[in-house]
Structure 1
Amino acid sequence: MTDLPESDIEAEAVRLIDGLAERGCVARLIGGLAIAEHRHTAMPESLSRSYGDIDLVIPPHRTAPFRTAMEELGYTPNKRFNNLRGDKRMLFYDEPHDRQIDVFVGRFDMCHGVALADRLDTGDRTLFPSDLLLTKLQVVQINRKDLIDAVTLLLTHDVVDGSDGVDAIELGRLIRITSGDWGWYTTLTDNLDRIPDVARELLEPGLADLVAGRVLRLRDGLEAAPKSLKWKTRSKIGRRVSWYELPEEVGQTIVTR
């Protein structure tokens, strides 16, 4: 029997992840809906936003059961795209509600890339907060919604030193991704520098200062971390040569949600 997606997108994201788990498929939310799931407490109205689609990440190598489960849960596959690209990315549609489900297989690639296959055992419906922040801040031409999501993450999660996967922003995880890649470091720190101004615009002073303090801790930690020889060599070239890829276009929309 095929289930039908719910009209409320936040409720549907929960139904989808839980329904996949019941069918033996691991999947984790990414994007704005994942951050909504991680809010933990009431948020200032200024941080509220709408959500258009649902984005997931799944493990590699077991995509066939996932495809079957998605159809059982009421989603229509883009068969041509999935057959051509299904080892890296898949598309499904909630046709009654005109929504797209973007599925990343084992990693998330936009302007930069981050491997996620070994980061899915979260005990939650979403990626770890550190990985959610990385997916948001790797886009060079970052948009308003991504910055609001980053503010939300930093308001609701403390910064810690580790990198083992906890419900916090782990400096060690960010260092692991950026200390060998000057381009990743540059995009991430550029976007971190944008967050305090957005926080001051959207939040009362005490909360904005909390976010800015967490950004400063991340920024200082990233700058102080030892860098690889590859990082140092690339840094000498600087911004004279592009340090990022252009996000892939799916349909007519650059998928950054």
Structure 2
Amino acid sequence: MPLEREVLLKRALHIVNSGEKENVTIRLIGGAAIAAIAQEGTKLFPRTYKDFDYFGLSSQRKQITEFLQREGLEPDKRFNALHGYNRLLFYDVELNVNVDVFLDEFVMCHKLYLKDRLKTYFPTIPPSDLLLTKMQIINLTENDKKDIAALLYDFKVSDRDYDHELNAKYIAELLSDDWGFYKTFTINHERMLEFLNNIKEDHKKRILDNLNVIMKAIEDRPKSLRWKLRAKVGEKVKWYEEPEEVKSAGGGI
């Protein structure tokens, strides 16, 4: 069942803020994260929300579990025993939703190592990483496109993740060593251009300009030998993973 945006954010941000007070590093990820930091954009591109997810550190696995239990979330003990090295699953009794906590790395269609980046931004993972978690999805949904548009409407493209700035240099550097991720990103870039065809011109220009600046930074960045070797193989070999869905409520980020 869809959740009201304000109800979702109140609960999600309360947990992030409470964690900070208890020295538990936990950050929002996914659509709820974008709603929290790109408020103008999410009003222009409203979507439905079914849940919220977090990112944390594996070194704090025990502290995260104990903290979330104090906040009224029930751990899925079987799932956590099997997958707890990089992912934990909880049930939020208050909102009646499942909650994922990714640890150290975000693994879906592609892999993002975020362990060393959590301290650089609050209350979400860094904006450039938020964009990458969306642009790595091989089967991009309407909600994903709205999230990307909302983020790029509110944020200026720069060379750092700070306040309302998004780090294109970091994105370009990461994709210059990973042809598969680069391939999916470029496919989704084209999908976003199609999506923007139906957007009002005064809303579209800012997003389109940001998309093009990011894409130019990616294309201009020298590619690694690893990237070039994989590019020669191309689409003959699948370049992405198709993650198994674990959320009974429909999942996604």
Same fold by TM (over 0.5)? yes
Query: Conserved in 2, the CA contact under 8 Å of 1:29 and 1:55?
Result: yes
CA offset digits 1:53-106 (Å, max 9, x no partner): 111000121111111111100001001111221110000001343201100001
- Kindly provide the amino acid, as one letter, of the partner of residue 173 in structure 1: Y
Alignment of 1:72-87 (within 5 A): 72-87=70-85
Percentage of identical aligned residues? 33
Query: Conserved in 1, the CA contact under 8 Å of 2:41 and 2:153?
Result: no
Q: CA deviation at 1:192?
A: 1.6
- Kindly provide the amino acid, as one letter, of the partner of residue 57 in structure 1: F
Cα distance in 2 for partners of 1:182, 1:16 equals: 36
* Mean Cα deviation higher: 222-231 or 165-174: 165-174
* In the alignment, structure 1 residue 48 sits paired with structure 2 residue 46: yes
Aligned to 2:18: 19
Query: Conserved in 2, the CA contact under 8 Å of 1:93 and 1:100?
Result: yes
Query: Conserved in 1, the CA contact under 8 Å of 2:98 and 2:249?
Result: no
Cα distance in 2 for partners of 1:81, 1:87 equals: 11
CA offset digits 1:120-173 (Å, max 9, x no partner): 01342111110100011101111111111000111111111x2x5323221111
Q: CA deviation at 1:229?
A: 0.8
Query: Conserved in 2, the CA contact under 8 Å of 1:154 and 1:211?
Result: yes
* In the alignment, structure 1 residue 191 sits paired with structure 2 residue 188: yes
Cα distance in 1 for partners of 2:249, 2:241 equals: 16
Secondary structure of the corresponding residue to residue 219 of structure 1: helix
Secondary structure of the corresponding residue to residue 223 of structure 1: helix
When residues 240 and 195 of structure 1 are mapped into structure 2, their CA distance, relative to the original with a 3 A threshold, is same
Aligned to 1:250: 246
When residues 43 and 139 of structure 1 are mapped into structure 2, their CA distance, relative to the original with a 3 A threshold, is closer
Equivalenced residues, count = 247
* In the alignment, structure 1 residue 214 sits paired with structure 2 residue 213: no
When residues 43 and 135 of structure 1 are mapped into structure 2, their CA distance, relative to the original with a 3 A threshold, is closer
Aligned to 2:219: 223
- Kindly provide the amino acid, as one letter, of the partner of residue 102 in structure 1: D
- Structure 1: give runs of 5+ residues left out of the alignment: 1-6
CA offset digits 1:185-238 (Å, max 9, x no partner): 00011112221332332x320220221111111112211210011111111111
Q: CA deviation at 1:44?
A: 6.9
Cα distance in 2 for partners of 1:166, 1:172 equals: 13
Query: Conserved in 1, the CA contact under 8 Å of 2:41 and 2:149?
Result: no
Secondary structure of the corresponding residue to residue 106 of structure 2: strand
Cα distance in 1 for partners of 2:81, 2:42 equals: 43
Alignment of 1:51-200 (within 5 A): 51-160=49-158, 162=159, 164-167=160-163, 168-200=165-197
